[in-house]
Amino acid sequence: MKPLIILTSLLPVLLIPSLASADWLHEEAAIMGTAINVELWHGDVKQGRVLIEAVMDEMRRIDDLMSTYKPDSELSSVNGNAARGPITVDNELLMLIGQALMFSDITHGAFDVTYASAGQYYDYRKGRKPDGKQLADVLPAISYHHVRLDTVQSTIEFLQPDVRIDLGGIAKGYAVDRSIAILQAAGVRNALVSAGGDTRVIGRHWDHPWKVGIRDPRNRDGLVSTIPLEDAAISTSGDYERYFEEDGVRYHHILNPGTGDSSREIHSASIIGNNATDTDALSTSVFVMGVDKGLKLVNSLPDTEAIIIDNRGRMHYSEGLARVTQ
């Protein structure tokens, strides 16, 4: 008995030297309504842990600014007031809305943050959707042309009274990019940050590229593919994240701005690119655009690839990936 007691009391002392050494660190947290994952290599474990906490704080800061679930977020205040005239907003929020509008332009309105004018009437947990009259009433409010930004005055105005915006299709990617910037500024060379379906990696994992799985949209535990990545971002938009079914029809969280109804040509769209803000917005965009238009857009963009699973379970690849998968 006695030697064992001595051993256990020595244990904390023996652990101290290893605490100061280099190691892979991993942390998970629930922020922005999703799972945040941070994994990194750091020469000083204690310092590495401080950096992971800084990333989690950054995620919370962005959520506090941009969540539509928080009544006191700046975005909620925009939604409550911008239809009455131009209101001054934080530069960072203004910039991200500006980027969202740019994606509306290049997708001809498939990506449109004013989808929320109808989106606010869906509750996927309670199985609630807008009725026909509600939808007809709010459809005219869905158009990014109703959002006027003035970057000189730092103001935003909605030109139609029923407009609501939601950054759910781009903010997680943006938060991932901000997190990677924090890690890079602190000298981290190998890391992965993910927020739900949006992931960005720098460097490698051990001596391999990072590997990010693409889920089988109809089998929770299955993967259809594993993508090796170095210094890249990947985002997946799927119809299995938040949904309910009624009369055999799936109502999920990615809406066609033209109809206010869920988009149903695709089960999942994954985009690979240089940064997570772009891949996030593009995965939502391609999901709405469908296979042909979506691939055409992706093939026209530099350093951007797509893997799409359509509503019959068939896989489609952008040109750069089709070359390597053949």
Residue 285 phi/psi, 5° resolution? -60, -50
Q: Judge contact between 95 and 273, C-beta under 8 A.
A: no
Residue 63 interacts with Mg ion (CB under 5 A): yes or no: no
Give the CB-nearest residue to ligand ADP: 168
Q: How far is the CB of 49 from ligand ADP (least distance, A)?
A: 27
- Distance, CA of 188 to CA of 199 (rounded, Å): 16
Question: According to CB under 6 A, which residues from 155 to 174 bind ligand ADP?
Answer: 166, 168-169, 172
Q: How far is the CB of 144 from ligand ADP (least distance, A)?
A: 9
Give the CB-nearest residue to Mg ion: 284
What contacts 32, CB < 8 A, 6 or more positions away? Answer: 59, 62, 63, 67, 171, 172, 175, 195, 196
Q: How far is the CB of 265 from Mg ion (least distance, A)?
A: 16
- Whichever of 111 and 188 has its CB closer to ligand ADP, that residue is 111
Residue 130 interacts with ligand ADP (CB under 6 A): yes or no: no
- Distance, CA of 26 to CA of 15 (rounded, Å): 19
Residue 196 interacts with ligand ADP (CB under 6 A): yes or no: yes
Bridge-based pairing state of the strands 87-88 and 155-158: antiparallel
Question: According to CB under 5 A, which residues from 217 to 246 bind Mg ion?
Answer: 237
What is the size of the binding site for ligand ADP (CB under 6 A)? 20
Q: Which residues pair with 148 in a beta bridge?
A: 157
Q: Indicate which of ligand ADP, Mg ion, none lies near residue 79 (CB less than 5 to 8 Å, by partner kind).
A: none
Which among 33, 97, 38, 124 has a CA at the least distance from the CA of 281? 97
Residue 310 interacts with ligand ADP (CB under 6 A): yes or no: no
Residue 101 interacts with ligand ADP (CB under 6 A): yes or no: no
Residue 146 interacts with ligand ADP (CB under 6 A): yes or no: no
Whole-angstrom Cα Rg for the chain: 22
Cβ-count burial 15-41 (b if 16+ within 10 Å, e if not): eeeeeeeeeebeeebebbebebebbbb
- Distance, CA of 71 to CA of 74 (rounded, Å): 9
- Whichever of 164 and 253 has its CB closer to ligand ADP, that residue is 253
- Distance, CA of 86 to CA of 98 (rounded, Å): 15
Residue 280 interacts with Mg ion (CB under 5 A): yes or no: yes
Question: According to CB under 5 A, which residues from 130 to 169 bind Mg ion?
Answer: 169
Q: How far is the CB of 206 from ligand ADP (least distance, A)?
A: 27
Binding mask 278-307 for ligand ADP (x = CB under 6 A): --x--xx---x-------------------
Q: How far is the CB of 71 from ligand ADP (least distance, A)?
A: 17
> Which of the stretches 81-89, 177-185, 260-268, 272-280 binds Mg ion when contact is defined by CB under 5 A?
272-280
User: Exactly one of 79, 256, 283, 318 binds Mg ion (CB under 5 A); which one?
Assistant: 283
What is the size of the binding site for Mg ion (CB under 5 A)? 5
Residue 237 interacts with ligand ADP (CB under 6 A): yes or no: yes
Residue 76 phi/psi, 5° resolution? -65, -35
Task: Give the number of other CB atoms < 10 A from CB of residue 64.
Answer: 14
Strand order in the sheet with 147-150: 87-88, 155-158, 147-150
What residue ranges bind ligand ADP (CB under 6 A)?
111-113, 115, 166, 168-169, 172, 196-197, 237, 241, 253-255, 257, 280, 283-284, 288
